[in-house]
Structure 1
Amino acid sequence: MPFPVQICCHLKWVSLIIWILFLNPSLSDPRTSLAHLICDDTHLTTDANFVANFVSVMEHLNLLVIQRQWGLYSIQSPPLPIFGYAQCHKDLSEEDCQLCFTEARTKLTRCVPSASGRVYLEGCFIRYDEYDFFQETVNTRYDSRSCSASLKLLSDGDMKAQFSEKVAEAVANATEMATSTRRGGMGEAEVMTSVPAAYALGQCWNTLNSTGCQACLDNAWSKVKRCLPAGEGRAFNAGCYLRYSYLDFFGNGEDNDQSALGTRRACIIGGSVLGFSSVLALFGAIIGYYIFSKRREERKKHDEVPAFVNQSNLHFKYQVLEQATDHFSSSNKLGQGASGSVFRGTLPDGSTVAVKRLLYNTKHWVDDFFNEVNSISGVQHKNLVRLFGCSIEGPETLLVYEFVPNKSLDRILFDRNSRQPLSWEQRFKIILGIAEGLAFLHGGSQVKIIHRDIKSSNILLDDNLTPKIADFGLARCAAGDRSHLSTGIAGTLGYMAPEYLLRGQLTDKADVYAFGVLALEIACGKKNNTFTDDSGSVLQNVWENYKGGTIDQVVDCSSRPKDFEGKEAPDVLQIGLVCTQASAALRPSMSEVVEMLTSKGRAIPSPEQPPFLNASVLAPTDTDSSSAMTSSATSNMHTTINF
């Protein structure tokens, strides 16, 4: 078999390829992979407010993680207080930290309704419990370790002893850095270090002082050193996390793309494999040529795809969109979401569009992805952001949307510095528009779409304050791709229906629940994740006033006209309560909601349940007609994705 000249001249790099393919399978593992999950199944809560409090704690932690990559929050109201803590490892970038937290909190929902739970991902940690554990270093009941298989490269006792010594040295360096660079016992620290062929990371939670950090990592090392001479070992303590490995698993703390990160790692590993024998190099050359040939065939197949794509007006050239956004300049960045970042772009014809850079690669499912875009682009409604098309030929996948000139609803509704607060008429127009848009998604077109992430930041407003629902569709084809972050149950805590949050059971009634939360937020002018000792959440406050016959008192004062005496606002609030009932069977459809909002003579049904109910009450009414669906949905709940 003849070999290309380039491969024969660079056998050392081909050796590197074979090393990565066969001896280093974990190099491509994302830092969002699950390392350890602990749920206290012996203590299941029956408190009716537990789910609401859990959701609130997670929402507050999410905001803190976005701001500083760690945070703590607690709700200490009886009978069951909840304390929560989250932290990313110091070598993660801000974007990777947010993605890691998103994955971790969805996995943590497996513990509900346990009174406590911990989840350790390779890059971050979340814990909730019923007591103040913030200064806890060791918990003998739950702390544990895990070990990988022994390294085959260590063929004799001397090599095993040398590797063990290097691991001990790396761990000692990591521990010293973790404890010595803290500021006043609450600061941040660079906690990673490495020696040749051994790497270690010691991460203490920021609530510990230097003494507590030292004690925790010493305890962790006493556990994990029993893994040697295994190639990897991890210790999961209450106050810290310790990992050693023969692989360089560190991040650089910057928002670099995955290709740059892979190149950096390959260069590091390359230095350790240049001494391989000529026999291995020759074998690597053969395998390398085989891989080269396969990739050339795949590239040839991929090059054929634009042939049918170019025939559609949904196709955009990557170079055109790159220039339209000024090479994705930060000055044109409109926002950042779980699925990617959005940029303002000006096309050559002068029209303005919004361009979304997706965080995943679609090369393996181009046909399905384009067909999905083709279907969604046909869904047009005055209250939906229109999808114009996509670009699938460049180094990343881009979506092109209608540009909505005004801000998102959350920036206008909750901005206390806004020059002109929304009037009640404007709020009602927005609520009705969102309802009509959702009703159209659920049954007004040939493609039925469940949004799954209705919230104020996904509602855009045009110059006339007409609401337009963004980020819908594209869920089906995305689920098959494993190169991007799989966020488990897609959605935002605080807007997620109980049956979806706890079981993964997804129907259009999940959107109805989220709409109900959003409608109450718009009417009251407050976010649902705002918990205070005086009033509780928005849903709880509205429910209590509804029972007390004073529901009109919760309407945002800034939206009240002087002659505010109509029945419209109380009706909207009652509709919101009906939509947020814990049982999906008791919620109306979105088409029925539109009728309630537009037909003045139609009676509004009374809510039969409060919005806050424990998961145990969901079974009787929700599972009779969908028991078969529940099992399949639960098995797939960790493979779905939201855009």
Structure 2
Amino acid sequence: MMGIPAVAGWSSWQRRWWRMVAILLFASVGPVTSDPQTNLLNRGCSQYNATNLSDFFSNRNATFADIRSQLTNSTHFATAQQSRTSDPVYAMAQCRNYLATADCVACFDAAVSLIRNCSAANGARVIYDGCFLRYESNGFYDQTTQPGNVGICSNQTASQATAFNAAVEGLLTDLVSVTPRINDFYAATTRGVIGSSATVYAVAQCAETVSESGCQDCLAVANSNIQSCPPRAEGSAIDSGCFLRYSDTSFFSDNQTTNITPFLGGGESSKKKAIIGGVVGGGGLLLLIVAFFIWYLLPEKPKVAQRGNILGATELQGPVTYSYKDLKSATKNFSEEYKLGEGGSGDVYKGIIKNASVVAVKKLAVTTNRAKSDFEREVRLISNVHHRNLIRLLGCSSKGPDLLLVYEYMGNGSLDRFLYVICICFGGWGRFNANGRHENEKGSTLKGYTAPEYAIQGQLSEKVDTYSFGVVILEIISGRRCTEGNITNDIEFLLEHAWKLYEIDTYSRLVDETLDPNDYRAEDVKKLVEIALLCTQHVSLRPTMSEVVVLLLSDRSLEQKPPRRPTFVDSDNKISGDTSTYTNSSTANSVATATYTEFTGR
């Protein structure tokens, strides 16, 4: 209530009149509304406690105080750390940008109050509609999508389901596309539902410490998780590094929307580009007409095969067609001097093509229909792959006595050469030398090492690397290739064999028999087998490589979170094992109280 001015000489009726005016003014303005949006979506505590509680509580309190100070100064994202003791604390908090500073701080305070219930746990998280708070015993600021990501749906159903679903899908697709390209990784916008007066409100946000590509990957997973919600009136998707939400009810004001049109290619900038493009295009058309007449009047020259150029193999052009003659010359007639190795479906040679570029040329046998099938499959498959950890297929040659594939040249050789030559990890792996077969007898370079979601569905992410790494661990332990059958069953691949042994607690039988049992510890073998099996879980449960490193360096056992049965791909490309998809959104209530291990794997 507004105060009554103490003016000397005012009579009682004048004071009563002023009080009435004050009441009317207050009633006309209305109370100041506040909404920190503390509807709880998810919380969890680490299963491990800090060791030095005095240092830990001091560090945690200091990071919380630091973050609160930052949020009070009108920022919506803050990190803080106290890392110079035996129990370090790294903390991060983020509010949705549409929250007022007071509401952001109030949401944070509520999260701090709730997260303290985790007592001495060395890691914890709380996620509200309006904000989230997380702390760990090690750095996590660059984490994006982690196991435990999930979609959460409301119980109410929106009207005009078909039109509503279309509006939600279109709006979320646009938000997922533009948000990683916006400076603070945040966008909030609306879209009308066709044929009704309803409106869809949506927001997308990533932690400001992740990369643009990390934000994009995280939101793509979030969008996948939230797709099962419509026609429910509201849905949210949570992950370690991002947040996605839609609703048929406004949860931010109209003046807080983000203009995403420029990021979708619309707006004045596109008009200017169109004008410039029209002028340039008109001039280009005249040049094309002149060039056509010059070409038409010149005598025709004999056609020659396109010469391969390593710089010409781009994602837009696809594989380059090389002439057989050029590649034969580049490899000195496929001489032993230039031979790099051999595999089940052909030999590989170093090649120096005429632009001085060094390539690797794989010569496939042409005596069987299977070889031709391998050639067509490999060109079709690998030419569509662009991944930082895979060599690229630059081109091919199909005109000549041999079918040839041209790859990027790896000057340091293949990873398997080092894995199977150098004795590593337990002091004695390596029954295979550098001249051993690189592929299995079926001629496939991918079978066994490739994650099922990529081998079957073509879904490529950094977690494909995690799967492959898990298989390599099993190869190191057993001393044999992943695609080799065991002694009793020639069609049972290494991963499947390892799981069966682990399931009956006889994992020690997996160890290479040539090793001296005194050279390794049984508990180390068990830990490595568990990590390998964890790496080969379904993609939603699979850790990132950074988490794998933490597991390898940690002295802690994985018994509190044992691996599930891995997903297998058999010789006919059929999937078996754990084929579950991401957690269904209908389990939102149980997810809200899920254990901490979902995000961290600890």
Higher Cα radius of gyration: 2
Compute the TM-score of the two structures, normalised by the length of structure 2: 0.34
More helix, by proportion = 1
- Compute the TM-score of the two structures, normalised by the length of structure 1: 0.32
